[in-house]
Amino acid sequence: MDHDELAHWSKRAADWARDYHAGLRDRPVRPDLAPGDFRKLIDAPVPEQPEAIETIFDDFARLVPDAMTHWQHPRFFAYFPANAAPVSMLAEQLANAMASQAMLWQTAPAANEMEALVVDWMRDALGLPADFTGTIHDSATTATFSAVTTMREKASEFQGIGEGLSGAPTLRIYASAQTHSSVDKAVRLSGIGQNNLVKVAGKPDDPRYSMDPAALDAAIRADLDAGLKPAGVVLATGGTAIGACDDITACIDVARAHGLPTHVDAAWAGSAMICPEFRDLWAGVEKADSVVFNPHKWLGAQFDCSIQFLRDPGPQIQAMGLRPDYLQTPGADEIVNYNEWTLPLGRRFRALKIWFLLRSEGLTGLRSRIRNHVAWANEARDAIAALDGFEIVTEPILSLFSFAYRDDATTARLLDAVNRDGRIYLTQTTHAGRYVIRMQVGQFDVTREDVMMVPDVLNEIAGSLP
């Protein structure tokens, strides 16, 4: 394929994308496939000779969509969304066409400086203090890994990057039981060790399921008495299972009293903070050392796109950065090179889709979407609560809540039947020892009618269970 052919097929692809999105409501959200089914359809030896692009494109259109879970489906209520506003898709096409490697300022000046701008835009949109700066990662997992590695190095006076951890004091990281598994992964891969992640008990009867600040203080003191070395605290705003939100102010006060840095994981809920009325969920966040949220989850920036805000980037650059001779920018020793702020050297031009998105939608448009999603989730909660045999287990936090149907086994059978039916897609979690179904509203093109289909489908399928 040459560039003239690319122009033709790009138009074909754009037409296909338009039709795909227009027809999503007619597709099941999730395919009813068994592992290996799709591989049987495409299995073949590696091609020795070139094939016509017409054949390849036709095979894609015929085979692939029906074997995909449709994350842009308006009735995708599972996990958290991975939204892709049309304008974000356009920006990705342009970034892909330039195919830049934005590891250094000199390798992509516009990407570098636009990243600084859109991080500032998002900081201001979320109401964070002006002294925060930051960078764009692929996902919150990488941002949290970077934050935990920085905690490790600060606790070891930056000796770990040179000497390793052998013979060093045993470090401890503290988090609530509601934090995402990416925290566990960061503690494992940073060399701190899974057994040194302390999951702190929650406040009794707290409607937001916060970590208990008193229990955090007690855990830190117990580790100090045992000769262990506390290194940092990871807090959650909008935990994945049920939307739990830690008491940021009280927990950071405890961390500061012990001289510990803090990282706030607001990967999903952070987007809602463009609406001032929701900011009480992370009151005190301005005291954090690091905050992460994913514009690709709820704002419409196409996956992948995660922003980490940092009060002082210096420690993270010291922990993560490496500048060999071939990565120098001659005559500009103090220039910002974002690869030094995170794990990968190679970096995509992710700022472009945020720049397009914010200019095209405006904060007004994005706020309206999020407010609708929260309101519709509460309507769905009330409708489900009114159904015979259904119980709301955790109340809505923003647009996420959970419910059960009769007992654990019946709830599991209901969820399987609902997802096989295909009209809506929901996922499960466990809470207080119970198997529950979680529902979140957040897909970019969802309507109130899509949301209110959920109680109708639940009622219909529950009534048909044996």
pLDDT tens for each residue of 215-226: 999 999 999 999
Q: What are phi and psi of 133, to 5 degrees?
A: -125, -165
274-320 pLDDT, tens digit per residue, is 999 999 999 999 999 999 999 999 999 999 999 999 999 989 999 98
Laid out side by side, the sheet with 390-397 consists of 390-397, 400-405, 434-440, 427-431
Confidence of residue 177 (pLDDT cuts 50, 70, 90): confident
Instruction: State residue 402's pLDDT score.
Output: 97
Mean pLDDT across the stretch 104-133?
A: 92
Confidence check: pLDDT of 181 > 90 = no
pLDDT of 159 above 60: yes
- Mean residue pLDDT across the chain: 93
**Mean pLDDT along residues 434-449:** 96
Residue 327 — pLDDT band, cuts 50, 70, 90?
A: low
Given a cut of 60, is residue 325 above it in pLDDT?
Answer: no
Q: Return the pLDDT at 330.
A: 47
Q: Cα dihedral sign for 15, 19, 22, 28? A: negative
pLDDT at 332 over 80: no
Question: Strand 197-200 relative to strand 171-176: parallel, antiparallel, unpaired?
Answer: parallel
Q: What is the pLDDT of residues 418-437, one digit of tens each?
A: 999 999 999 999 999 999 99
Percent of the chain with pLDDT over 70: 97
Contacts of 46 (CB under 8 A, 6+ apart): none
Beta strand pairing status for 229-236 and 197-200? unpaired
pLDDT band (50, 70, 90) for residue 388:
very high
Q: Residue 305: how many CA atoms within 13 Å on its side-chain side?
A: 31
Phi, then psi, of 157 in degrees rounded to 5? 55, 35
Question: Rounded to the nearest 5 degrees, what angle is found at the Cα of 366, between the Cα atoms of 144 and 140?
Answer: 10
Q: ∠ CA 397-399-400 to the nearest 5 degrees? A: 65
Strand-strand pairing, 306-310 and 400-405: unpaired
Q: Token digits for 86?
A: 């049309």
Torsions phi, psi for 392 (to 5 deg): -80, 120
Q: Give the tokens for residue 176.
A: 């609530």
Q: Is residue 386 pLDDT above 90, yes or no?
A: yes
Report the pLDDT value the prediction gives residue 324, as an integer from 0 to 100: 61
Q: Which residue has the tokens 């490790």?
A: 152
Q: Residue 422 and residue 305: Cα distance in Å, rounded?
A: 28
Q: What is the rounded CA–CA span in Å between residue 234 and residue 176?
A: 8
Distance CA 316, CA 300 (A): 28
Confidence of residue 333 (pLDDT cuts 50, 70, 90): low
Each residue of 228-247: pLDDT tens digit? 999 999 999 999 899 999 99
The amino acid present at 313, given as its one-letter code, is: P
CB half-sphere exposure, 189, CA atoms < 13 A: 14
Contacts for 260 with CB less than 8 Å, ≥ 6 apart: 151, 174, 220, 230, 231, 232, 233
In 201-225, which positions are buried (b, 16+ CB within 10 angstroms) versus exposed (e)? Answer: ebbeeeebbbbbbebbbebbeebee
Distance CA 173, CA 194 (A): 10
Predicted model pTM: 0.92
Token pair 């592992």 in the structure block, residue: 35
With beta carbons less than 8 A apart as the criterion, state whether 59 and 310 touch: no
**Contacts of residue 107, Cβ cutoff 8 Å, sequence gap at least 6:** 100, 101
Dihedral sign computed on CA atoms, order 121, 126, 131, 134: negative
Q: With beta carbons less than 8 A apart as the criterion, state whether 442 and 399 touch.
A: yes
What integer pLDDT is reported at residue 106 of this predicted model?
80
Q: What is the pLDDT of residue 179?
A: 84
Q: What is the mean pLDDT of residues 144-171?
A: 90
DSSP string, 42-60: H--PPPSS---HHHHHHHH
Phi, psi values for residue 193, rounded to 5°? 100, 135
Give yes or no for a contact between 262 and 236, defined as CB atoms under 8 angstroms apart.
Answer: no
